[in-house]
Structure 1
Amino acid sequence: MPEAVRTARYDATAALSEYRLDPESAFGGTVLLVVSELVANAVRHAADRSPTVDVTLAVGAGQLVVGVADADPRLPDLSPHMMGRGLRTVADLARAYDGALSAEPAVRGSGKVVLARFVIPDGVGPF
């Protein structure tokens, strides 16, 4: 596992705990897997244009959003027949929690952010 993925998982585990969502729950495990897949994807496909990635977890209105941003402006093709295995896995996991996968240009500067949205299931937190 690349160091960037390990670091992102560690930080995401801490963020889940701060949001009082159990990182050991099935939902928490799903979020950590999504973080791993999105960071690995950014490292694999954007490393030549983006030496770093930024990972955010945000909670509000009963949803959790994972964002992975890099400096590569190329947006991934998220059509079902064009996604690679990692993004397809992320899309499937997000849908399993009534969410979705999307990608959009960065708000500031060049680059992009890939977003995985989830509806937080009842009973997941606070722990």
Structure 2
Amino acid sequence: MNVLTPRHRRHVLTAPSVPATVTLARRTGEQTWAAWGVNPSHTMLGPALLILTELVTNSVRHAAEASPTLDVIYAHADGVLAFAVHDRHPFLPRFVRGAAPHGHGLELTAELVAEHRGVHIARPDIDGAGKTVWITLPL
């Protein structure tokens, strides 16, 4: 069971699946994590925001027709920064390093997560009609 303690924090942004949401999600992440005490100049924050931007961009580009809104979940606990993007498109992305010739979004995401000793997972919704992509990075 995943139990949040007082040291665990979580915030959810629900927004339309439109290009402007990419910037909104990034700014919300910056502001939320800063409010929780994550130093804005922490070396992990830049890669985390880039990965977040890639995930939200993918959702907006590829899932908007099936998912008019998306959720971005921001989380923080001692030594961990986590975030997720949920949409209602059934395609589960595969994070394969070195698979795309020009640094496409999922390849870039896989590279950054691995480089920073993080974890990524894509989980289908119970009904199979959507998914959540979670990223966890050590602080």
What TM-score, normalized to structure 2? 0.75
What secondary structure sits across from 2:69 in the alignment?
coil
Q: Which amino acid aligns with 1:32?
A: L
What secondary structure sits across from 1:55 in the alignment?
strand
The CA RMSD over aligned residues, in Å, is 2.0
| Structure 2 residue 84 is matched with structure 1 residue 67 | yes
Per the alignment, do residues 107 and 14 of structure 1 end up closer, same or farther by CA in structure 2, a change over 3 Å counting? farther
2:108 corresponds in structure 1 to 89
Q: How far does residue 27 in structure 1 lie from its aligned partner after superposition? A: 1.5
1:118 corresponds in structure 2 to 137
Per the alignment, do residues 23 and 109 of structure 1 end up closer, same or farther by CA in structure 2, a change over 3 Å counting? farther
1:11 corresponds in structure 2 to 28
What secondary structure sits across from 1:21 in the alignment?
coil
2:53 corresponds in structure 1 to 36
Q: 2:64 aligns with which of 47, 50, 68?
A: 47
8 A contact 1:99–1:117 mirrored in 2: yes
Provide structure 2 residue ranges, at least 5 long, that are not aligned to the other structure: 1-18
Q: How far does residue 78 in structure 1 lie from its aligned partner after superposition? A: 2.5
Q: Distance in 1 between matches of 2:84 and 2:107?
A: 16
Greater share of helix: 1
Which digits, 9 at most, give the CA deviation of each residue in 1:13-48, with x for residues without a partner? 111112211233331111111111110011111111
List structure 1 segments (4+ residues) > 4 angstroms apart after TM superposition: 81-84
Q: Distance in 1 between matches of 2:48 and 2:73?
A: 12
Q: How many residues align?
A: 119
Between the two proteins, what is the percent identity of the paired residues? 35
Greater share of strand: 2
8 A contact 2:79–2:138 mirrored in 1: yes
What TM-score, normalized to structure 1? 0.81
Provide structure 1 residue ranges, at least 5 long, that are not aligned to the other structure: 121-127
What secondary structure sits across from 1:26 in the alignment?
coil
Range that drifts further, 9-18 or 100-109: 100-109
